[in-house]
């Protein structure tokens, strides 16, 4: 077990930030939230609009399948859109969007409501029913949140599949959800190129027999093939006379599903995590409100794509529930020049920037002269998410982008948690590289495999000791997997196992180290090594493979594959390139391996388990350590 002394440097928030913050005393509110967890969440839930109040805040009778706000009638869209149209916020900008090619579009809350209502009536006319799962596969354009909100409004469950995923990844998700309707776009821009999404969808749908309708937004103007009776243009549908600007928001049970989001786990099959209307709404809004201290004057830019949980919670639902102005940008951070993001911040007067360490590290490499060309003084808070942020990147972000005055909210959380779990508040004294302390209502343990506390400074498993409203309720179609993955190891104690290892220092600050399972984070994107191995094995030359994550200066982690070829074949540079291409094609280019190493044998235990530790040591040129269990 490793112990480490953390740097003592403590960065205090500026007076301006502290004075503006709603929460002035973390300890006091935290204590109250632990002593009366249900009371704390009920108080937050009351700030939202309910068709009918709940009868029970937390129902733990079926644990670990916890239920929140049972008996309540609710719809997240009444809160994210409807209620704002009845106040002065109807004229406030909800969305400011900029496309990679420079096109801009803005939507007031009034306009957003209009578009959501119109699209919701279309979905209804297509026979979309409450509870049905609609798959959305789109670039980062306004129609993406509009489609999500339209689904939620009529009670359909959305499943957003990241637009960077491949044909196979898309069709397996469509099939797992048994979607009848898919919403997509002709194409999206990335670094000046058009990604031909509709062609990917057309191929995926050949293996997805449940799909009857595909709606396509015209965005990039690339040539696409439309299939008669199945394919419809979004703009054609939106201009039909049956389309109404008034559409009732469906009254949902608090625990009705809002969305499914697939994420990688230990096995090759991605898990469709299920989030609900009410608990998720309360959690995403409360966490955002307190951590980023949202004010009506703010312009909040979360750079994530809604294909990931960060985009769901903090680009779409959380900010809209809070009535914020959200900035959305479609393309690459360095296109056409490395100042693109800094230009956007200046142009729109962004006050809060929430992004990933990978993006910071990548932009940092271009040098300070790029941000220095722009006036970034509207920024007041910064955020980081998705992977540990190294102190060097943290300091650059703080000094160069934040001008030394903007605290960095390093938020630790997961697709499963729905929102922030370990995070600073604007008033928290910061330590670069630490996500600091638990959000309200959370007791976070660092424990060994049996559940014993690990002493301060030493590494252990991160567990969450009590339920919270934003927690994923189950895995779509596989409740047993939900129970065993997250609640199996600490069943006796009733704790949630996050799958991360972490340390807590003597000041009670948490330091996240990384995943303890076979999940890797490449540029903050979550990938399962088993999924990559499954993709490799479908290549005709591959007999067996083992995939590990190795540290990477920009991406955090990179994909390193050990490949055993079929008898009589030998590895070559060409085959290495072909295998990289094969994985990218099977899964999406985000999974393109960094390195393929051909081997004659894989190190295995006598019971046949691959010893990844040995591979990792070899890949990194380190000592292999104890190999007494090695078979050969």
Residues that bind ligand PRX (CB under 6 A): 263, 308-310, 384-388, 410-415, 435, 498-500, 512, 514-515, 521, 526
Choice between 348 and 413, CB closer to ligand PRX: 413
Choice between 85 and 384, CB closer to ligand PRX: 384
H/E element, 213:
strand 213-217
Choice between 406 and 542, CB closer to ligand PRX: 406
Choice between 202 and 310, CB closer to ligand PRX: 310
Choice between 351 and 557, CB closer to ligand PRX: 557
Nearest to 439 by CA among 70, 41, 57: 41
Choice between 113 and 384, CB closer to ligand PRX: 384
- Give the shortest CB-461-to-ligand PRX separation in angstroms: 12
DSSP string, 11-27: BPPPHHHHHH-S---HH
- Cα distances (angstroms) measured from residue 22 to each of 48, 286, 309: 18, 12, 26
- Give the shortest CB-543-to-ligand PRX separation in angstroms: 31
Yes or no: say if 185 and 199 are a contact pair by the CB < 8 Å rule.
no
- Cα distances (angstroms) measured from residue 185 to each of 16, 141, 163: 43, 9, 10
Yes or no: say if 542 and 566 are a contact pair by the CB < 8 Å rule.
yes
Paired tokens of 510:
């948490």
- Give the shortest CB-179-to-ligand PRX separation in angstroms: 22
- Give the shortest CB-134-to-ligand PRX separation in angstroms: 22
- Give the shortest CB-446-to-ligand PRX separation in angstroms: 14
Choice between 286 and 415, CB closer to ligand PRX: 415
Long-range contacts of 5-10 (CB under 8 A, 24+ apart): 5/457, 6/431, 6/433, 6/434, 6/457, 6/505, 6/509, 6/511, 7/391, 7/431, 7/432, 7/433, 9/431, 9/432, 10/429, 10/430, 10/431
- Give the shortest CB-13-to-ligand PRX separation in angstroms: 18
- Give the shortest CB-604-to-ligand PRX separation in angstroms: 27
Choice between 473 and 526, CB closer to ligand PRX: 526
Nearest to 295 by CA among 78, 49, 89, 29: 89
Backbone φ, ψ for residue 525 (5° rounding):
-85, 135
Choice between 216 and 461, CB closer to ligand PRX: 461
Nearest to 273 by CA among 285, 286, 259: 259
Give the Cα separation of 360 and 501 in Å (integer): 23
- Give the shortest CB-590-to-ligand PRX separation in angstroms: 12
Choice between 142 and 383, CB closer to ligand PRX: 383
Yes or no: say if 174 and 205 are a contact pair by the CB < 8 Å rule.
yes
- Give the shortest CB-419-to-ligand PRX separation in angstroms: 9
- Cα distances (angstroms) measured from residue 436 to each of 379, 412, 430, 494, 503: 22, 9, 7, 24, 11
Paired tokens of 557:
């982690």
- Give the shortest CB-557-to-ligand PRX separation in angstroms: 10
- Give the shortest CB-8-to-ligand PRX separation in angstroms: 20
Choice between 216 and 415, CB closer to ligand PRX: 415
Choice between 180 and 503, CB closer to ligand PRX: 503
Strand spans (E) along 448-555: 459-464, 474-475, 496-504, 510-515, 519-522, 525-528, 542-552
Nearest to 388 by CA among 360, 363, 416: 360
- Give the shortest CB-304-to-ligand PRX separation in angstroms: 8
Yes or no: say if 444 and 417 are a contact pair by the CB < 8 Å rule.
no
Paired tokens of 319:
């900010």
């Amino acid at each position: 077990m490793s112990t480490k002394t953390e740097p003592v440097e403590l960065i205090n928030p500026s007076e301006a930030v502290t004075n503006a913050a709603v929460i002035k005393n973390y300890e006091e509110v935290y204590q109250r939230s632990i002593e009366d967890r249900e009371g704390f969440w009920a108080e937050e839930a009351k700030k939202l609009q309910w068709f009918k109040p709940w009868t029970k805040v937390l129902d733990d009778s079926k644990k670990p399948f916890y239920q929140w706000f049972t008996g309540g009638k609710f719809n997240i869209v009444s809160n994210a859109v409807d209620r704002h149209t009845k106040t002065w916020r109807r004229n406030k900008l909800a969305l400011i969007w900029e496309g990679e090619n420079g096109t801009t579009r803005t939507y007031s809350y009034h306009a957003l409501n209009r578009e959501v209502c119109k699209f919701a009536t279309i979905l209804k006319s297509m026979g979309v029913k409450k509870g049905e799962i609609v798959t959305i596969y789109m670039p980062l354009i306004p129609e993406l949140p509009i489609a999500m909100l339209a689904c939620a409004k009529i009670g359909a469950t959305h499943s957003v599949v990241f637009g960077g995923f491949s044909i196979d990844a898309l069709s397996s998700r469509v099939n797992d959800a048994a979607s009848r309707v898919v919403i997509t776009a002709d194409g999206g821009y990335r670094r000046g190129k058009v990604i031909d999404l509709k062609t990917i969808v057309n191929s995926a749908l050949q293996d997805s027999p449940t799909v009857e309708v595909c709606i396509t937004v015209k965005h990039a103007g690339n040539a696409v093939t439309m299939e008669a009776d199945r394919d419809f243009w979004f703009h054609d549908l939106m201009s039909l006379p049956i389309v109404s600007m008034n559409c009732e928001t469906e009254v949902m049970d608090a625990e009705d599903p809002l969305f499914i989001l697939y994420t990688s786990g230990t096995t090759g099959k991605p898990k469709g995590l299920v989030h609900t209307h009410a608990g998720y709404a309360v959690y995403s809004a409360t966490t955002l409100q307190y951590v980023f201290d949202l004010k009506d004057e703010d312009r909040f830019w979360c750079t994530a794509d809604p294909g990931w949980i960060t985009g769901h919670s903090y680009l779409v639902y959380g900010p809209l529930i809070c009535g914020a102005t959200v900035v959305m940008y479609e393309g690459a951070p360095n296109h056409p020049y490395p100042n693109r993001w800094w230009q956007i911040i200046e142009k729109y007067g962004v006050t809060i920037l929430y992004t990933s360490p990978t993006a910071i590290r990548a932009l940092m490499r271009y040098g300070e002269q790029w941000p220095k060309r722009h006036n970034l003084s509207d920024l007041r808070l910064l955020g980081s998410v998705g992977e540990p942020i190294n102190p060097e990147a943290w300091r650059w972000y703080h000094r160069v982008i934040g001008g030394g005055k903007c605290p960095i909210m390093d938020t630790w959380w997961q697709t499963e948690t729905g929102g922030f779990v370990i995070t600073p508040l604007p008033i928290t004294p910061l330590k670069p590289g630490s996500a600091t302390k638990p959000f309200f209502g959370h007791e976070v343990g660092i424990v060994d495999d049996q559940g014993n506390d690990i002493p301060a400074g030493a590494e252990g498993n991160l567990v969450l000791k009590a339920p919270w409203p934003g927690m994923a309720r189950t895995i779509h179609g596989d409740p047993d997997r939900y129970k065993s993955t997250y609640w199996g190891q600490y069943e006796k104690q009733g704790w949630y196992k996050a799958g991360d290892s972490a340390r807590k220092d003597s000041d009670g600050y948490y330091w996240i180290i990384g995943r303890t399972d076979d999940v890797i984070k490449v540029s903050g994107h979550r990938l399962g090594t088993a999924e990559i191995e499954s993709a490799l094995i479908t290549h005709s030359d591959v007999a067996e493979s083992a995939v590990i994550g190795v540290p990477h200066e920009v991406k955090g982690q990179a994909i390193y594959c050990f490949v055993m070829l079929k008898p009589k074949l030998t590895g070559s540079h060409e085959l290495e390139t072909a295998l990289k291409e094969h994985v990218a094609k099977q899964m999406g280019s985000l999974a393109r391996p960094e390195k393929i190493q051909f081997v004659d044998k894989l190190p295995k235990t006598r019971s046949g388990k691959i010893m990844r530790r040995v591979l990792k040591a070899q890949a990194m040129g380190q000592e292999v350590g104890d190999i007494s269990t090695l078979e050969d």
